[in-house]
Amino acid sequence: MATIEVGTIAMRDARPVIVIGLAAVGLVIAADLAAFQLGVVGTVWDPLFGDGSEQVLTSPLSQAFPVPDALAGAVAYGVDLVLAFALALRIWRTAIVAAMLAVLAVLGAVVAISLAIAQPLIAHAGCTLCLCSTAISIALAVSAVVEARARWPALPRPSQNPIARSVREEPR
């Protein structure tokens, strides 16, 4: 596999560091939101929507789950972080770890996008940190999928796949 050299670190070695950074920032944001939902802190910082974050985090949708949704997000980011460290340190089989990370990150992004869409529809308010977390989830999912694709053993190309080849061949 060709790599792009950046200083002394190859890009294939830098990708897990990017995923680690995204997961760590997401974890900090989700933990801050969870602290509000759990009553540990009394307010949530929101430079764009004023008290919109509090409205979103106390909305019926947020209270519909048995645990605070931000806490579930923090746990997901924490697992992403552990898997990204496993990739960076090459613990266990990196292709499998990368695939697990990609699946978890994509699921997290789908949930985050759904919650972001629900903010104005259900809570009739916006949450800056929630939207930042959604953006991080999307970036994390894209990065994790790229990482998984790069680490997965060579997948057969359509021309190498006997089924695809037989479909393209003309009947005799």
Q: Which CATH class is domain 10-168?
A: mainly alpha
User: Residue 105 belongs to what H/E stretch?
Assistant: helix 94-118
Say how many residues make up the chain.
172
Enter the tokens of residue 23. Answer: 């997961």
Question: Model's pTM, two decimal places?
Answer: 0.80
Residue with tokens 């909305």: 59
* The pLDDT of residue 155 is above 70: no
Sequence-distant (6+) residues with CB within 8 A of 133 are 26, 29, 30, 33, 73, 112
Q: What tens digit of pLDDT does each residue of 83-123 get?
A: 998 888 887 777 888 899 999 999 999 999 999 999 999 99
Residue with tokens 């080849």: 165
